[in-house]
Structure formats: C-alpha cells, structure tokens
Structure 1
C-alpha cells in the first residue's frame, strides 16, 4: 500500500476503536477525531488518488460519524459480550479494509540498474500491404501500436509513464482469460513506471542496439515492463509490439479498441499456421525501425539505431515468434524464448544456427503425453548446436511477466517474483550483451550459473 493509504487506515481505525471502547469522552474530542478522519481522506484522495480497493477503508470516517451521532461511546466495560461483539466487528472490518489493497496492491517496479535513465514513446503504424484478418471490411489494413523504450538523456518534462495508458480496456480484455472482473485492473493506470514519457534520447553513445519484445496470447505490450526498463537502462532500444486482436486490448489513437479475439488454437497444427501473422507483424516493425533510423518517422531516432545489432525476446507465443524470427530473418542476431511452446515451422535437427536461449518455468502448463512428446522434440531441435536453456524453480507460465507483481494470489507456491525477475533480467542482459551488443563474454553467463545454481543453466 502507499504511504497515505497506510496512514489513513491506521489513524482512522485507532480513532474508531477509541470511540467504540472508551467510557467517557467530551463532545469536542469526538468532533476533532471526525475532522482528522475526513481531512486524512481528502489528503489521501488528493495526493494518491482513488482506487476501488480502498472503498471499505473510505467508509471509516462515516462509521465514526454514525458512532458519534448514536452516542455509542458510553458503554459498560463490564458488559463483556458487548465488548466482544464490537471487537469482532472491528477486526473483521479492519481485515477487509487491509486485505483488498494488499491482494491488489499499487505495486512498484524494480529500479533499473543501468547507467541510463529510461525514456518511452508510442507509435501507431499501419501496414498498408496487409489486410486485417479480424475485421469484415476487406479494405482494413493491419494496424499496430508499438511502444519504444530507450536510453534517455534527461527526464524530458519529468512525467513518468503510467504502467497502462488504457487500463480499463486492457482489464476488459483480460477479464475472460483470467476470470477476474475487469474493474480490478482499473488502478493500473495509476501505477507509475521508471520511464519518462517523450524524454530526449541519450547522446552518450553514437548508436544503440535494438531488442524487440513480443507478448503472449491475450497479453499486452507492457506486460514485461520489469525487463524492458532494465534492458533500456543498459543501453538498448527496446521495441514492444501489440499484436492486435491477439493482445488483451489495443487502443488506437482515434479511440477504437481491438479486443482479444479467440484463435481456437488447440494443437500444433493451429499454432503453426497462426504464427505467420505474428512473424509478419515483427518483419513489418523491423522495416519501420529501418525507416525510423533514416529519420523518416521520428527525427529523434535518426542515426541512433544500430540495425546490424538486433535481438528479440518474447513470452509464450511471443517467445515462439522470437525463435521463428531468429531462424528465418537474417536481421535477428539472437533470441530468447520465455516459456513459449515452439510453434511454427519445424526447426532443423541441427539447431537454429544462431544464439538462442530457452527459459522455462518449473511448472509446465501442457502435460498431455502427445503434446509433451512433440514439444520435447521441438525443444531438442531448437537447442541443438549450442542452444542454451534454463529452468527457474517455483515458477509457472506467467512468472515471466509482470502479472505476479499485481497480486500475491497469482503467484506460484514459494515464489518470490522479484527474485525471479532478477534472474530473468541478469541472464537476459548477459545473453544480449554477448550476442547482440557484442561487448560481453561467455564468462558472464557462466558466473550467473554459479550465482544461481538452482536454475540449471545448460549449453547444448
């Protein structure tokens, strides 16, 4: 919980307990207590803003007022039944008031460790060469929202980017998949990231290498902010893609929203066919990045992008897309697949032939025998010839995203999401420094293997 939320709850419940259980008290002190309660409410709402999880706590000044009006302060201390009932009711109310903001907290993202501040900007790009397969009008083109995080030279106007610009729409898109009401995500537009909106790109280096990020089905471009900000702070331009109609929600500049539409992927044949759409999205974005570097789209990035040093990473289906792009597009030098089933064209048994790291969760989400056999074969092929792999203990499929910061109810037993994120960040950075930035060495990965022996890091 935030500072003023904690103070508001503590002070108001102390005052409520005082009114309920003190034998005597002057009217003047009761009025002062209510004044303090309402003032704290106003301060909290003004400084930190409203969120629905605090509704039970917001009622505490009202209860104070009712208690005063009914004059229930004057109780018989010898009436133990009365005292017990009041104590029980107070404890239940306090538990509810504290529980809601605790299980759906205003979480904070880890501070990036790199030497750069982080800036971010949003682009709306239309691929006029491709139809939009999810709409009925054949004239519709494929429209993408792309958010770029980059090393910043200053804080710009000092405005920190919200975690989600369109929390209501994304919440609605997530509702069906997570079986959580959409309104529970409404506070995510009040969570602040470490990135500064529209900040100036740093001139500390002549050019910066590029990393592309692809989310999973019904994910969203910001779902790995913990990782994206760290990589940007370390000197990478990170480009995050919303795969429209396969993301939870993609909101376009004119207000239209492309909500998630089911793809009915029930096996490898469906997943293998559908991935072409995502690969085409990534290829188009790569084309746009080249234009961006030439100054045709945004002059601030002109000449700042090193298009000879490009990597990609993704979660779930986005991880499979990263592996496919690594195998098929010469512009991608290295890739990380975070717990993504390897859909797409089958990889040669000799391997991809370029640096590839497969991060896996301890708890597999697919356990059918037929699926497992095929998946194991595909992993074996992808990792052949020098591919790398690791398994992080106490994790499930969504551990490789920000989701487990949003609520402790989403976490795996025994999982510390910040520890898991630290492992992901350190291995990702060492891998990309070696194979994309081309300034690291294999010893950095070996040292991480010694630092985190539980992850079972392997080079095939």
Structure 2
C-alpha cells in the first residue's frame, strides 16, 4: 500500500510539473530544484520514520530521487539560457520519468513491507548459516568432479528479546525441508515462531532443487534446468500418462533430498557431540528431542526420514504427498506400504487437494499412514492454496498468486499454521498437553 501511494505521488508530481512547464512555456529550473529537494527530504523523513523500512525495496527510488535533486539544483544554479519548451517533448519526458520511477519501485510493489509475522514467544531469535560438504556423495548436477554440498541456516533462542546472548538451556531440534524450487527461508515465520518458544530450527537448501542457494563463501547456485524440465513434465501430465516414469522420477527426487537431510542430521549430531570448541548453536541442541517438517516435496522428505527411525519424535508434513510411503509401481499405480507409520504425524492440506484426496483416501499415502498412527492429525484449510503454506504470499504476493494461492488471508493462514505446528511439537518434543483435532476442515478469514 505504501509503495503504491508513493508511486502515485511521484508520478503525480511529474505530471503536474509537465503541465506547469507547458502552460508557462518555461523549464522551471528553480521550481523543479525546490520540488526535487522537497521530494528527497520527504523520502528521507519517511525512511527515518517507521513508515518506510530501509531495505532493497527502496534503493532504486532513493537513488533516482537523489540524482534528480542534484541535477535540478545544478541546472537552477548554472543555467542562464531558457530552453524552448514544446508540448510533445514535455509529454515524452514525463512519460519517460514516470516509467523510470515505476521501474525503480518494482521491488517495493512486488515485495511489500510490513507483512512479516512477529514471533510470539518470550525468547529472542538469532540466526547463523553454514555450508557443509558431504564427502561420501558426488554432485550429480555438475560436470566437474564435485562432492555434494548443502547450505543450512539455523534460527535459535537468545536469552531475551532484542538480545544477542544465547539462551542458557538445551532445546529441541526441528529440521525443515523446502518444496521444489523453494529456498531455505521459505517458512521463516515458522522458524522464528518456534525459536522464540524455545526450539533450535535448521532449514536446508537442497542445492539445485532450490531456486537459488547462497553459500557461506558468497557463491550463488541456481536451480538445475534438468530438474525444472522434469517438474514441468510432471505438471502437464494431467491425464496421468507418465505412470511408472512418474514414480521413478519422484523417487529419485526423494532419494536425493532424504540423503541431504540425513547428512544434515548426522552433521548436527557430530557437532553437538564435540567435547569443546563448538559453535554456540550446537551447545543448545537436545538430541533426545528431534522433529522434522517440510513443505510440499520437503514434507515428503521429512516424512520419509521419519519412517527411517534415526530417533525422530514427530513429523509435520505441510501440504505434501508422502512419496516415501510408495514401495513400487504395479498394475498401473503406485503401491503404498501397509506398515504402520512409526511416529506422530501432522498433515496440512490445501482445499483443492483435500477434495481430490477424499476420493482416493484408501490408496493415498498420507491418509493410509495417518490411519495407521494413533497420534496423527489432518487439517485441511479449504480456502488456502499450495503456496499459502509458505511466507511467499506475504513477501511476494504477485509471484505467489502465479504459483498457487487461494482466497485465504495469507497472514492469518500462516499464523494458524505456525501456531498449530508449535502446539504439535510442544506436545511431542516437550511433553506439553496437546489438544489438536484428529481431523479438521476449516476456512480461515
């Protein structure tokens, strides 16, 4: 909203100056200098105030306002000769400047500010990032003889809000896996909510499955084109013609990610168990209390690792199909294991998917696994789309809508999701009372 108001304001000023120049048949050097300085001053005051939070969103506008002011003052002081003003030339200038201002404000329009969800817990939250290399695995996405590297980011409690001093305690660990083309920051509001209530949260960038991965050495790695082609092929297969090819493809994705998460967990365990000289985040982790969660394909990853044991206590699957429950492909469809799911599980579904799932619940992995586990919870948010289970609709609503959102209020949806996940992990990692419904179908306003 603030970005649109500013855009309309600055373009309005350009139009007004253009009309006045044509009417007076003058370049209005002094008037423009005063206006440009006023625009720059107002912008600085907005940045100083709570209205504009200085970030990448406003860099372009700030730069153009500064340059405009300098040029306008220079012309007012130096130019003695009046320039001939024509209507056509003035209209062209106004159109050009308006277009430039619109371009500079694109980040603020696409990524609106003030959509963050503040954590509700008593702890402050701190973050740290690591890039780890798995020497036991080759990187199959590169031509070079590289080993597989993943970048992880931790969010963990500080002693109190606005403090950098670590909290003096041991806390449960929750590991998160993003969806296809997601990023490790995709559910930051969830991580900070958990951390503020006394959790250490680790989110994994699945390199080349993530839209981008920024490593700790500054190197930026983008998604793999071959992976994108596979995903696109699957998305257009509405008639389900791929059959066994789809099964083999999705199992390949899952294998890579499960190995990433297993490596991450083992790496954390080894660092926690160091006798001394370990980073503060690893001194805070209670390895007896580990939970997993993930969105979409990341949810499948978390659920697959949960079935494999590794001392996992609970799993939250956020709008994802539990591909790891599929054991083979026969008679034209995926075969699903009947082995009981071993740990408490929380499933979220978007409305459109839930309607489809209810028609196939006897053969759908999530519903079969949930039916086999007494501590299972299934929640459908009927007016939510797939991306409403991430922070993207709050951070970049235009992009999120293109990828799949529905009519739910994005902030209200994520507040509900975060609170539910917190209650779920509180119940199974901290032993607190849990009052979640076994199955619930809701609409969030």
Is 233-242 or 12-21 further displaced after alignment? 12-21
Indicate whether 1:248 and 2:240 are aligned. Answer: no
Q: How far is 1:320 from its partner?
A: 0.2
* Counterpart position of 2:135: 128
Q: How far is 1:253 from its partner?
A: 3.3
5 Å matches for 1:143-154? 143-153=149-159
Distance 1:276 1:241 in 2: 15
Distance 1:110 1:257 in 2: 27
Indicate whether 1:235 and 2:198 are aligned. Answer: yes
* Counterpart position of 1:270: 249
Structure 2 alignment gaps of length 5 or more: 77-81, 235-245, 327-335
Is 356-365 or 320-329 further displaced after alignment? 356-365
| 1:186-232 deviation per Cα after TM superposition (whole angstroms, max 9, x unaligned) | xxxxxxxxxx8xx43211xx210010000011111111111111111
Indicate whether 1:422 and 2:385 are aligned. Answer: no
Is 394-403 or 423-432 further displaced after alignment? 394-403
Q: How far is 1:273 from its partner?
A: 3.2
Q: How far is 1:339 from its partner?
A: 1.1
Please, what TM-score do these two structures have when normalized by structure 1?
Answer: 0.71
* Counterpart position of 1:202: 167
**1:50–1:222 CA distance, 2 compared to 1 (3 A):** closer
Q: How far is 1:105 from its partner?
A: 2.1
Indicate whether 1:357 and 2:346 are aligned. Answer: yes
* Counterpart position of 1:337: 317
Kept in 2: contact 1:12–1:37 (CA 8 A): no
**What SS does structure 2 have at the residue aligned with 1:334?**
strand
* Counterpart position of 1:17: 16
Distance 1:236 1:50 in 2: 30
Structure 1 alignment gaps of length 5 or more: 76-81, 159-195, 456-460
Distance 1:447 1:98 in 2: 49
Kept in 1: contact 2:122–2:197 (CA 8 A): yes
Distance 2:388 2:349 in 1: 10
* Counterpart position of 2:182: 219
Alignment root-mean-square deviation, CA: 4.4
Kept in 1: contact 2:154–2:200 (CA 8 A): yes
* Counterpart position of 2:39: 37
5 Å matches for 1:403-418? 403-409=392-398, 410-411=400-401, 412-418=405-411
**What SS does structure 1 have at the residue aligned with 2:153?**
strand
| 1:285-304 deviation per Cα after TM superposition (whole angstroms, max 9, x unaligned) | 11122122224673413542
* Counterpart position of 2:147: 141
**1:105–1:299 CA distance, 2 compared to 1 (3 A):** closer
Q: How far is 1:143 from its partner?
A: 1.0
**1:58–1:270 CA distance, 2 compared to 1 (3 A):** same
**What SS does structure 1 have at the residue aligned with 2:443?**
helix
Kept in 2: contact 1:119–1:200 (CA 8 A): no
5 Å matches for 1:149-168? 149-153=155-159
| 1:333-379 deviation per Cα after TM superposition (whole angstroms, max 9, x unaligned) | 10011111221243633531310111011133997x9xx85995212
Kept in 1: contact 2:117–2:415 (CA 8 A): no
**What SS does structure 2 have at the residue aligned with 1:384?**
helix
Kept in 2: contact 1:145–1:242 (CA 8 A): yes
Q: How far is 1:107 from its partner?
A: 4.9
User: How many equivalent residue pairs?
Assistant: 393
Indicate whether 1:381 and 2:368 are aligned. Answer: yes
| 1:382-414 deviation per Cα after TM superposition (whole angstroms, max 9, x unaligned) | 111332111112222111112111333333342
Distance 1:344 1:14 in 2: 59
Please, what TM-score do these two structures have when normalized by structure 2?
Answer: 0.73
| 1:406-454 deviation per Cα after TM superposition (whole angstroms, max 9, x unaligned) | 3333333422100110110111011110012222x232x24996xx843
* Counterpart position of 2:243: none
Equivalent of residue 117 in structure 2, options 107, 110, 115: 110
* Counterpart position of 1:285: 264
**1:58–1:401 CA distance, 2 compared to 1 (3 A):** same
**What SS does structure 1 have at the residue aligned with 2:307?**
helix
Q: How far is 1:58 from its partner?
A: 4.7
Indicate whether 1:438 and 2:438 are aligned. Answer: no
Is 206-215 or 125-134 further displaced after alignment? 125-134
**1:95–1:417 CA distance, 2 compared to 1 (3 A):** farther
